């Protein structure tokens, strides 16, 4: 078994220490991000890994029957979250502002990047049929996409991919969990661009240079100031 993975099988939970189970539950609940198996092993280093694995398995069974909460595997880690059918009630609590929601243009661009990554801004624009500069800036500021390299063509444009925050926001374990584009578009309320379902050849990715890293650093600095 790899050190940073948990082999949790479905079915009846194995015997587990009540104390370890309580600690694991508290850590998963309190963590602002999905807590990974590797982090659980590190935090509970004095406990046998088998006990940590058993605690996670037991919690998964427990939360299958919780009416308001569920334990999910997201972005390589675990989170305790509210059930999707209660989202509207949770939104009322936080008085979600319309400015916090992505526009249809933002969702379309994000979908194109998710299904075609790594991809350049020009390629996103060609698929959508409109310019995307402002939209990509918004997605970068919200940590939903990132610059991962340059395309090995004339001009060496930046290549964009989705981030861990994207997986968390959309409740995905990894990119293999992406639904069909038609299903995602229907769920999020936008029309998928016609070119999105077409396969495009992958290109070599050039590593970021020091200048490129400086550009990405400036973006991150702007984000910190805005926060």
Give me the CATH number covering residue 218. 1.10.10.10
Count structural domains, the chain: 2
Could you read off the pLDDT of 2-30 as tens digits, one per residue? 445 555 544 544 567 889 999 999 999 99
Residues 150 and 222 in one domain: yes
Is 127 in contact with 181 (CB distance < 8 Å)? no
pLDDT of 43 over the 90 cut: yes
Residues 109 and 85 in one domain: no
Distance from C-alpha of 68 to C-alpha of 86, rounded to nearest angstrom? 7
For residue 128, what pLDDT is reported? 83
- Whether 148 is in a domain gets the answer yes
Distance from C-alpha of 59 to C-alpha of 48, rounded to nearest angstrom? 17
- Whether 37 is in a domain gets the answer yes
Is 136 in contact with 105 (CB distance < 8 Å)? no
Residues 78 and 107 in one domain: no
For residue 14, what pLDDT is reported? 55
Domain-terminating residue out of 36, 56, 89? 89
Range of the domain at 143: 98-226
For residue 206, what pLDDT is reported? 55
The better pLDDT of the pair 225, 142 is held by 142
pLDDT (mean) for 138-161: 90
For residue 148, what pLDDT is reported? 92
pLDDT (mean) for 99-126: 85
Could you read off the pLDDT of 48-87 as tens digits, one per residue? 999 999 999 999 999 998 899 999 998 889 999 988 888 7
Could you read off the pLDDT of 86-95 as tens digits, one per residue? 877 877 676 5
pLDDT (mean) for 202-211: 53
């Amino acid at each position: 078994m790899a050190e940073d993975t948990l082999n949790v099988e479905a079915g009846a939970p194995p015997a587990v220490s009540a104390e370890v189970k309580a600690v694991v539950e508290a850590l998963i609940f309190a963590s602002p991000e999905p807590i990974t198996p590797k982090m659980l092993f590190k935090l509970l280093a004095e406990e046998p890994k088998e006990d940590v694995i058993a605690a996670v398995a037991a919690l998964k069974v427990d939360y299958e029957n919780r009416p308001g909460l569920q334990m999910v595997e997201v972005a390589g880690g675990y989170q305790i979250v509210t059930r999707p059918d209660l989202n509207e009630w949770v939104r009322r609590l936080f008085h979600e502002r319309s400015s916090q929601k992505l526009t249809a243009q933002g969702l379309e661009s994000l979908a194109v990047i998710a299904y075609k990554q790594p991809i350049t801004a020009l390629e996103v624009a060609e698929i959508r049929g409109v310019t995307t500069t402002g939209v990509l800036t918004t997605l970068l500021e919200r940590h939903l996409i990132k610059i991962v390299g340059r395309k090995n063509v004339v001009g060496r444009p930046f290549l964009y991919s989705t981030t861990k925050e994207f997986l968390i926001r959309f409740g995905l374990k990894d990119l293999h969990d992406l639904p069909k584009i038609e299903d995602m578009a229907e769920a999020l309320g936008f029309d998928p661009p016609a070119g999105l379902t077409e396969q495009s050849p992958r290109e070599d990715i050039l590593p970021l240079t020091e200048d490129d890293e400086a550009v990405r650093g400036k973006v991150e600095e702007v984000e910190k100031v805005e926060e």
